Amino acid sequence: MKLHSPAFEQALRRGVNRAVRNSPELRRERRLAKRRRRASRLLWLGYLVYVWFAGLAVYAAAAKTGRVATGLAVINLLMLGSLHLLAQALWKRLHTSSDNAALVLLPIPRERWFRWQWQKFLRQSLLMLFVLLAGFGTLAGFLALPPWKWAAAFLVALVSWTVVLALAAFCTARQIRGPLAAITSGLILVVFAALFGRQFVLPVVLQALDQAAPALNLFLPTGWPVSLFQTLTADGPRWPLLLLLPVGLVFWTVRDSCRRLCDGFHYQEVILPDFADLAPETVAATLPADRPVQLGPTAIEEIIQSRTFLAPPVWPQRGRLELWLWRRFSPRERALADFVFPNGYALTARWLRIVKVFAVVSALALVAGLISPGSQEWTLAVGMVITGFLTLGQMINHGRAFHLLQFGGVNIPMHAGYGVGFVELSRLLSKCALLQLPLLLAFAQTAGVTAALIAGLPPVTGWVFGLKAGGLLFASRFIFATLGFSAGTNDTAGFRFRPLLLLGTIVLVGVAFAGLGGVGLFLRNDPAVAWGCCLGALLDAYALVWIYRWFLQFGRFDLMSQVRR
């Protein structure tokens, strides 16, 4: 569907081409525009890698288990995992697309508007079709199917694609979001766990998938079209043809889903609510509960004249840890802390939450051990990962310092807009982390000993592991501060010597940190080497701050980045 006249567009294009040909300046502009377009080819490279990865995953599953059904289950799960992303893409296209602001001005009925956005969504979801083609193509190659069956395999891919789109429309129209998001997150976690724990996790995942494949393909709606492929295999069963019935049912819902989506598709200008005044906390505390939403000019004048608005923030008084940290800041650091954490820096409540989560996980692991000994370690491992992420999040919290602001068509990080330097900022963030180090080490050691006791290992092993892990978590602060600073700039953009050198250095330091940290944590035979590696990882992370400072000082990069369109 087009919202304009193709004949007019063609005539316009011819006119523009003629004008460009006749002007050297415009020809130059066009060359530059083409160069810009090349940057988007990198995105296509990313898509290509994703499609290749999908094909590889399907092949690996089928080859390792020797069963087509397992490969099909991988395709099935890929579709299931993508369902949330597709539903989200459809929702965004209909309700938050930037086109809407322009389309609302055009005299077109809502149905046409909806069809226009729906078509754009279909184009957007073509990547899924390529993933499915890669998956089924890989399986067809694996089974060495004859050419006509290849054609049938591609037909199955097409049917699968339409089914997943119909399901996305179904879920979007009925606002089914939570379960889809949970499924996608869970699947992503499993993929990462399988990738990084290839030795231990991947065989378990494969085995579980192999066992569950027939059930997954039969009971999951995304498995119904996928199962049709089984009829193409030599001596394959014919019963999957019966699944055409539920597939037809899914197709039947499309009309209703589209009607619901179209009916619920109202674009309107966002009207902000009437905001209440944000009185300083000390003033707000003295106001009666039924105070007016907005203060009068006299009250505001009093707040200014009494310098209440300039008084130090109230957050240090919210907890002991916060106060302890605040007292150790210099006056400049206090000003910076107020800038970086304008809503306060939560310590006590966050650490209490981490401890609570760990206590719950330990209790769950103990209970799981009573029911099934095998599940105890898994529960504990999952719990450790969750608490690990929570602790890491607390250690690397850098507040608003690296938030992006728009300035004349580019994004600039907040610190650049307010003239805050890298050294003072990284020093403040490191100090925040350093003052939490005793807490971190105490928690990590307790967690290590508890985990060791539950897993039946000597407590000393857990204690040492916790100590090392705590130290490494602290060291990661240096790396994350530098990455945060680098993220809002164009320091590693472009293919020039200096950006490549910086990028190479960051990657090298990151890999060295991961390698040294990994060896330091898991090497048991030689404690001296293990401790040396941990120390090396700490120094490596700290060195990155100084190396980046050198690049920042002498580098020619900007503290801004182009707005992504």
Chain residues that interact with other proteins, rule: CB under 8 A:
32, 35-36, 272, 275, 277-280, 294-297, 300-301, 303-307, 309-310, 334-336, 338-339, 342-343, 400, 405-409, 412, 414, 416-424, 494, 549, 552-553, 555-560
**Closer by beta carbon to other proteins, 532 or else 555:** 555
> Using CA atoms, how far apart are residues 72 and 79, in angstroms rounded to an integer?
11
- What residues are paired with 404 via a beta bridge? 413
Shortest distance, position 478 Cβ to other proteins, whole Å:
18
**Closer by beta carbon to other proteins, 286 or else 406:** 406
**Closer by beta carbon to other proteins, 102 or else 304:** 304
**Residue 278 φ/ψ region, left for φ over 0, alpha for ψ in the -120 to 50 degree band, beta for the rest:** beta
**Closer by beta carbon to other proteins, 111 or else 301:** 301
**Closer by beta carbon to other proteins, 117 or else 489:** 489
Which one, of 537, 423, 550, lies nearest residue 491 by Cα? 550
Strand order in the sheet with 404-407: 404-407, 410-413, 561-562
Phi and psi, residue 296, nearest 5°: -80, 165
| Pure H helices in 398-457 | 414-417, 422-435, 437-455
**Closer by beta carbon to other proteins, 84 or else 415:** 415
Eight-state DSSP code of residue 404: E
**Closer by beta carbon to other proteins, 109 or else 408:** 408
Which helix (H) or strand (E) segment is 413 a member of? strand 410-413
Contact yes or no for 221/250 (Cβ under 8 A):
yes
Shortest distance, position 556 Cβ to other proteins, whole Å:
5
| Pure H helices in 319-372 | 320-327, 331-340, 348-371
Phi and psi, residue 343, nearest 5°: -100, 10
Neighbour count for residue 433 (Cβ, 10 Å): 23
> Using CA atoms, how far apart are residues 489 and 487, in angstroms rounded to an integer?
6
**Closer by beta carbon to other proteins, 191 or else 410:** 410
Eight-state DSSP code of residue 557: -
Shortest distance, position 544 Cβ to other proteins, whole Å:
17
Shortest distance, position 241 Cβ to other proteins, whole Å:
55
**Closer by beta carbon to other proteins, 313 or else 319:** 313
Eight-state DSSP code of residue 38: H
Shortest distance, position 500 Cβ to other proteins, whole Å:
16
Q: For residue 406, give the 3-state DSSP assignment.
A: strand
Shortest distance, position 410 Cβ to other proteins, whole Å:
8
Q: For residue 562, give the 3-state DSSP assignment.
A: strand
**Closer by beta carbon to other proteins, 556 or else 564:** 556
Shortest distance, position 9 Cβ to other proteins, whole Å:
25
Which one, of 185, 210, 246, 170, lies nearest residue 60 by Cα? 210
First vs last Cα of the chain: how many Å apart? 24
Shortest distance, position 501 Cβ to other proteins, whole Å:
16
Shortest distance, position 505 Cβ to other proteins, whole Å:
18
Contact yes or no for 448/465 (Cβ under 8 A):
yes
Shortest distance, position 396 Cβ to other proteins, whole Å:
21
Which helix (H) or strand (E) segment is 78 a member of? helix 68-95
**Closer by beta carbon to other proteins, 39 or else 63:** 39
Please give the structure tokens belonging to residue 48: 């290509």
Contact yes or no for 380/455 (Cβ under 8 A):
yes
Shortest distance, position 554 Cβ to other proteins, whole Å:
8
